[in-house]
Amino acid sequence: MPETLSAWERVLLARNPARPHTQDYVADLISGFVELHGDRRFGDDPALLGGIGTFRGRAVVVVGHRKGSNTQENLTHNFGMPRPEGYRKALRLMQHAEKFGMPLIAFVDTPGAEPGIGSEERGQAVAIAENLLALASLRVPTVAVVIGEGGSGGALAISVADRILMLENAIYAVASPEACAAILWKDATKAPEAAATMRVTAADLYGFGIVDEVIPEPVPAHEQPTQTIQRVGDAIERHLSELEAMVQDGDAGLDALLAARYQKYRRIGRWVEETDPTRHPNGPVPSHTAD
Amino acid sequence: MPETLSAWERVLLARNPARPHTQDYVADLISGFVELHGDRRFGDDPALLGGIGTFRGRAVVVVGHRKGSNTQENLTHNFGMPRPEGYRKALRLMQHAEKFGMPLIAFVDTPGAEPGIGSEERGQAVAIAENLLALASLRVPTVAVVIGEGGSGGALAISVADRILMLENAIYAVASPEACAAILWKDATKAPEAAATMRVTAADLYGFGIVDEVIPEPVPAHEQPTQTIQRVGDAIERHLSELEAMVQDGDAGLDALLAARYQKYRRIGRWVEETDPTRHPNGPVPSHTAD
Amino acid sequence: MRELFRRQPRFTVEPQGEDSPVVPDDLWVKCPRCRELTYSREFERELRVCPRCNHHFRLTAAQRIAMLTDPGSFVEWDAGLEAADPLGFAAGGESYPDKVATAKRKSGAREALITGSARLDGRPFALAVAEFGFMGASMGSVFGEKLVRAIERAIEQELPLVTVSSSGGARMQESPFSLMQMAKTTAALARLGEARLPHIAVLVDPCYGGVTASYTTVADVIIAEPGAMIGFAGPRVIEQITRQKLPEGFQTAEFLLEHGMIDLIAPRRTLRAKIATLLDHYALARRQPARRTAGAAASAQEAPDA
Amino acid sequence: MRELFRRQPRFTVEPQGEDSPVVPDDLWVKCPRCRELTYSREFERELRVCPRCNHHFRLTAAQRIAMLTDPGSFVEWDAGLEAADPLGFAAGGESYPDKVATAKRKSGAREALITGSARLDGRPFALAVAEFGFMGASMGSVFGEKLVRAIERAIEQELPLVTVSSSGGARMQESPFSLMQMAKTTAALARLGEARLPHIAVLVDPCYGGVTASYTTVADVIIAEPGAMIGFAGPRVIEQITRQKLPEGFQTAEFLLEHGMIDLIAPRRTLRAKIATLLDHYALARRQPARRTAGAAASAQEAPDA
Ligand SMILES: [Zn+2]
Ligand SMILES: [Zn+2]
């Protein structure tokens, strides 16, 4: 894949409807998959797929955003934009993973959490926040893979994990380039510029230390879906094996896993710090990250 | 209070709208009460009151069914019949109690969980069941007081506790006498007979070992509300003090508390058991309880 | 597996009650929903599901056990428990013991729940099956005690638990004892959960009241049969009280799935295989490194009374 | 307490932005909602709440701190943190550092969150207050880092945490870093919870986006000011996308209370007393016997990195 693809070209690839989606990864990588439905409170969200199955010799829980491959499917699955009940189904399955010691695999592919009247009424914000809280201390190895669009809090709500992997042409950002352009340039057609400015690509995110591995796409995923899926499977397996080795000794290992997960997020951020503001109120100061 | 009151007369006393309700107990017994609202998922149920405050020197969480004292209030509070969001608010507050080590005090006064289309759609059954599960292992002392009507699963969902107390004229039953009469006699006007047959009074429940203490009403509660409330407060304090003594040493004490709570419910039931069915297939066998 | 359904003589009891298939000459079964006739051998081969309209006929506990276990593998637990009469209950000239005697005669069962250990294509598990033909599988003391003993044995023997539930509601004749079985059974499941053993609940038509509002709906996986009616309050009660027309399909398994209350709907002919797959996943997980080795849950297990 | 509001010179900054009261001659304040004029001394005495229509004017972080702390008790933490420019962001001819410089000048604050320890009628606590006047209190790296440090100090010093939040959304200029602050701050709160220290969140107008969908809504108690607009997606976005008319009162504090999302609404003049009462309850609970002394939560606290 040429290095020269622009951020915007990658945005378009990430959104290509022919790109393999969560259900394709599940079909190829998870054996004996049993889809589990519902949040036990309000509904079953077709934009969020979840269930249990076997991944290369281990029982796992899988959650993922569910996009369609055509308009009809996308209408059924709300374009992969979960409502609160989707996040609550995911939460239930995360707790299931923890209870039974099943690693959690999350496939991230969403434009974002649904903005809507019903979603606000039923607490979209708190549904996302509760997942962030649960994922921070889930006592089981967790791996998230951004396979397409990683859109804002709606992506983050299932992707706080020990390892975050990204396909080369996937994107991850705090807002869509269109929304960013509309806010900053007052012009949504400036989305390509916004995409570049926001640094949304896998290479960017890896460079920032937010993503742990970029999974190459020698050709775009939708042109070689089977090989892409296997390559993603190999990467998940490698990371899961490392994490499983950490927790061999049970609780002490899990404590260490959680401590490492905390430090991973603890470190993220860039700022400038005056070490002693009384002495150098306006002096130049070095740029910092916590690590 | 004359021993000669019939079960039905007690049913009528338990339902007397002038009888002190949860909010009256909270007003008189809990200082600095802060009502906490909402289930964080769907709504705030006015049929279930909850919050935190201080009860005689200790911080506690209080939950209780909220009935009105007149028709207007009863319409507002749905006659004390919670919807799923009410039970989910209670669950949230139970978890709050456990997190902060605050004993849980529950006031029970409901005809039952609301039977309705919306309640079924939002999972009345699972909402109740989740509370039963949570209360079984809540790591904090719990005391429930049946102050009026203890109606079915809707009452049980907040009253699984280390100690269950009942006012002398309160009732507790698996169904209302009217419903029982309609099912068994095909005649709801036979409710008085059903009340007697179902053994719904505090004395009955105490005799069965289900209730731990009957709090006397020398005169019916609604004629001496202040004194009744103080008498209930005294009983709660006595039981809480005993339970607090059990958990003085922290986790080991809490384990013992939970073990005792389990045994308390484990024992409830009456059956006949053939010790060896192959030898005595039809022979007479003694009646058993587990204790 | 389909053949099993006829092979275990101890557990081949004809279905009873309002849903019994009408069998004109012992050779044809008439479906109460689509009115089509099915040859009785085909009907049995289809596990008593109408091949025309997919109507799932009710089964007896014995038929359920035959359907979900390897032949000869089911070992019943606590068969000797029978109802007492703690309230001295009588209504309409009939005492509770009379009612129980009638239920025993009609259903061929001794109580409304049958429990035991069994194997499913070799996989060991604990099984509890409600018998709707016995007083509408109302949850009295015996139901609760048998279920709790089964859960405690499952914990002791590290077995996964499968329950098949159906219930018309409470056992009025044991009023407060019946109510408390909701708490008792759910408390036992809390311990099963602490032991990290799975509970797979199968809800079959009809499933109402205390059973729905207690042990069944806190299961790790909830499976329903197609078309099964499942709810807290019965539809007639709701209609009477709310004076509203109930929505189309209200309280069906399909309605519950849409409202997020169950994990999946399994047509009867897929149920056994679905449970087998789930048991495999949980068995595999039990050997995985991420299994907590200790902690608060485990320490509660070791409490003085355990 | 009302007097405090004017007493701390360091934290008396005039309100900025679109909600600024119009003060015709420095003596009268005109309410943008009811259009009534209020004498400015009365306006300050009422903590900037319109005495006619109860409209709660926006406050600066400094005014919030003055309102919720004992005079002179606030000790700021990490005042020296300022935004970096990790993306080299520029849009419309203005760089991110330019934008930050403008925000600093306009708001008088150095970033969108001010943290520190303080006392409330003698009760020690940790406090974090968002400054809406600084780039709409968008949550960038500095916001996240200051909040996490405050939470870690609260754990270390066993202090309860009070946050006062307001936000217009994400800090676009730090795109992925901004997003990750949601995870970072919430993870720190998981540890505060394991230490069983309370977090009381006060949501004030307006509170949207990542701040609402992370640390604020997992608080132990969520309090909102009357009329505050609170939500995940902004109302204009929802209206544009759904092409539906928004319901009356949509996303107001009152709407959230009705929908079960917040614990209570506290008019500004009651807020301080309400927080004091809550802090007393949690402080009392901390000394009670039922407090777990050990367990999974506590052991996680003692992990190698802690
Ligand atoms: Zn048919
Ligand atoms: Zn005004």
pLDDT tens, residue by residue, A75-112 = 999 999 999 999 999 999 999 999 999 999 999 999 99
Are residues A42 and B122, on separate chains, in Cβ contact within 8 Å?
yes
Q: What is the pLDDT of residue D92?
A: 82
Q: What is the pLDDT of residue C199?
A: 98
Q: What residues of B are in contact with residue C216 (Cβ under 8 Å)?
A: 129
Residue with tokens 């695999």: A105
Question: What percent helix, strand, coil does chain A show, rounded to 5?
Answer: 45, 20, 35
Are residues D142 and A269, on separate chains, in Cβ contact within 8 Å?
yes
Over range C94-105, report the average pLDDT.
96
- What SS3 state is found at C68? helix
Over range B105-128, report the average pLDDT.
98
Confidence class for position D26, pLDDT limits 50, 70, 90:
low
Over range A170-191, report the average pLDDT.
92
Question: What percent helix, strand, coil does chain B show, rounded to 5?
Answer: 45, 20, 35
CA distance D300 to chain C (A): 10
Query: How many residues would you count in chain C?
Result: 306
Q: What is the pLDDT of residue A27?
A: 98
C-alpha pair distances (Å), D216 with each of C119, D139, D154, D212: 50, 12, 16, 6
pLDDT at A26 over 70: yes
Pairing of strands D264-265, D221-224: parallel
Confidence class for position C26, pLDDT limits 50, 70, 90:
low
| pLDDT mean across residues, chain C | 89
Are residues B266 and C216, on separate chains, in Cβ contact within 8 Å?
no
Confidence class for position C23, pLDDT limits 50, 70, 90:
low
**Close Cβ partners of D76 (under 8 Å, ≥ 6 residues apart):** D114, D115, D116
Over range D195-216, report the average pLDDT.
98
Confidence class for position D91, pLDDT limits 50, 70, 90:
confident
Q: Which CATH number fits domain C58-271: 3.40.50.10490, 3.30.70.20, 3.90.226.10, 1.10.10.10?
A: 3.90.226.10
Pairing of strands D90-91, D94-95: antiparallel
Q: What percent of chain B has pLDDT over 70?
A: 93
Tell me which residue of D144, D124, D158, D27 sits closest to D81, measured CA to CA.
Answer: D144
Q: What is the pLDDT of residue C300?
A: 37
Q: What residues of C are in contact with residue D297 (Cβ under 8 Å)?
A: 296
For chain D, the structural domain boundaries read 26-57, 58-271
CA distance D80 to D77: 8
**Close Cβ partners of A117 (under 8 Å, ≥ 6 residues apart):** D238, D242, D244, D246, D247, D250
Q: What residues of A are in contact with residue D188 (Cβ under 8 Å)?
A: 266
Tell me which residue of C74, C65, C57 sits closest to C16, measured CA to CA.
Answer: C57
pLDDT at D10 over 80: no
Q: What is the pLDDT of residue A184?
A: 85
**Close Cβ partners of B56 (under 8 Å, ≥ 6 residues apart):** B29, B233, B237
- For B174-209, write each residue's pLDDT tens digit: 999 999 999 888 888 999 999 999 999 999 999 999
Ligand 1 centroid to residue C38 C-alpha, Å? 9
D181 close to A (CB below 8 A): yes
Query: Comparing A113-117, C208-212, C289-293, which segment has the lowest mean pLDDT?
Result: C289-293
More confident of the two residues D158 and A3: D158
Q: What is the pLDDT of residue D292?
A: 52
- For A194-246, write each residue's pLDDT tens digit: 999 999 999 999 999 999 999 999 999 999 999 999 999 999 999 999 999 99
| pLDDT mean across residues, chain B | 93
Residue with tokens 């005792």: B260
Nearest to B123 among A41, A123, A127 (CB): A41
Q: What is the pLDDT of residue C59?
A: 96
Confidence class for position C297, pLDDT limits 50, 70, 90:
very low
Are residues B153 and C210, on separate chains, in Cβ contact within 8 Å?
yes
Element at A160 (helix H, strand E): none
Over range A143-162, report the average pLDDT.
98
- For B82-101, write each residue's pLDDT tens digit: 999 999 999 999 999 999 99
pLDDT at C280 over 90: yes
Q: What is the DSSP string of chain D?
A: -TTHHHH-GGG-----STTPPB-TTSSEEE-TTT--EEEHHHHHHTTTB-TTT--B----HHHHHHHHS-TT--EEE-TTEEE--TT--EETTEEHHHHHHHHHHHHS-SSSEEEEEEEETTEEEEEEEE-TTTGGG-B-HHHHHHHHHHHHHHHHHT--EEEEEEE-SB-GGGHHHHHHHHHHHHHHHHHHHHTT--EEEEEEEEE-GGGTTTTTTTSSEEEE-TT-BB-SS-HHHHHHHH--PPPTTTTBHHHHHHTT--SEE--HHHHHHHHHHHHHHHHHHTTSTTS--SSHHHHHHTSTT-
- For C103-128, write each residue's pLDDT tens digit: 999 999 999 999 999 999 999 999 99
Over range A183-187, report the average pLDDT.
87
CA distance D275 to D119: 12
More confident of the two residues B113 and C240: B113
Q: Which ligand is nearest to the CA of C49?
A: 1
CA distance A181 to A113: 19
Q: What percent of chain C has pLDDT over 90?
A: 81
Q: What is the pLDDT of residue A123?
A: 98
Rg (CA), chain D: 19
Nearest to A32 among C281, C289, C290 (CB): C281
Q: What percent of chain D has pLDDT over 70?
A: 86
Confidence class for position C160, pLDDT limits 50, 70, 90:
very high
Query: Comparing B13-27, B122-136, C283-297, D101-115, which segment has the lowest mean pLDDT?
Result: C283-297
Over range B115-124, report the average pLDDT.
97
Over range A116-144, report the average pLDDT.
98
pLDDT at C2 over 50: no
Interface residues on C facing D, Cβ-Cβ cutoff 8 A = 295-297, 299
- What SS3 state is found at B251? helix
- For D35-87, write each residue's pLDDT tens digit: 999 998 899 999 999 999 999 999 999 999 999 999 999 999 999 999 999 99
Confidence class for position C20, pLDDT limits 50, 70, 90:
low
| pLDDT mean across residues, chain A | 93
From its phi and psi, is residue B44 left (phi > 0), alpha (psi between -120 and 50) or beta? beta
pLDDT at C58 over 60: yes
pLDDT at D303 over 80: no
Q: What is the pLDDT of residue A281?
A: 40
Nearest to B153 among C78, C182, C191 (CB): C182
Are residues B174 and C80, on separate chains, in Cβ contact within 8 Å?
no
Give the pTM. 0.93
Q: What percent of chain D has pLDDT over 90?
A: 82
**Alpha helices, DSSP H only, in B124-224?**
124-136, 152-159, 177-184, 191-198, 202-207
Give phi and psi for D96, each to the nearest 5.
-60, -45
Q: What is the DSSP string of C128-191?
A: EEE-TTTGGG-B-HHHHHHHHHHHHHHHHTT--EEEEEEE-SB-GGGHHHHHHHHHHHHHHHHH
Nearest chain B residue to D160 by CA distance is B100
Cβ–Cβ < 8 Å for D238, A117: yes
Q: What is the pLDDT of residue C10?
A: 35
Cβ–Cβ < 8 Å for B233, B24: no
CA distance B126 to chain A (A): 7
pLDDT at C9 over 50: no
Mutate to test the interface with C, among A52, A76, A96 (most CBs of C within 10 A): A52
Q: What is the pLDDT of residue D160?
A: 98
A85 close to C (CB below 8 A): yes
Q: What is the pLDDT of residue D304?
A: 40
**Residues 6 to 45 of C: which have CB under 8 A from any B CB?**
none
Chains that touch D (3 or more CB pairs under 8 A): A, B, C
Are residues B129 and C86, on separate chains, in Cβ contact within 8 Å?
no
**Close Cβ partners of A265 (under 8 Å, ≥ 6 residues apart):** A136, A160, D180, D183, D184, D187
Over range A28-51, report the average pLDDT.
98
Q: Which ligand is nearest to the CA of C48?
A: 1
Residue with tokens 């503001």: A277
C-alpha pair distances (Å), A164 with each of A7, A209, A266: 20, 10, 15
pLDDT at D298 over 60: no
Q: Which ligand is nearest to the CA of D30?
A: 2
Q: Which ligand is nearest to the CA of D55?
A: 2
Are residues C260 and A35, on separate chains, in Cβ contact within 8 Å?
no
CA distance A88 to chain B (A): 9
pLDDT at D3 over 50: no
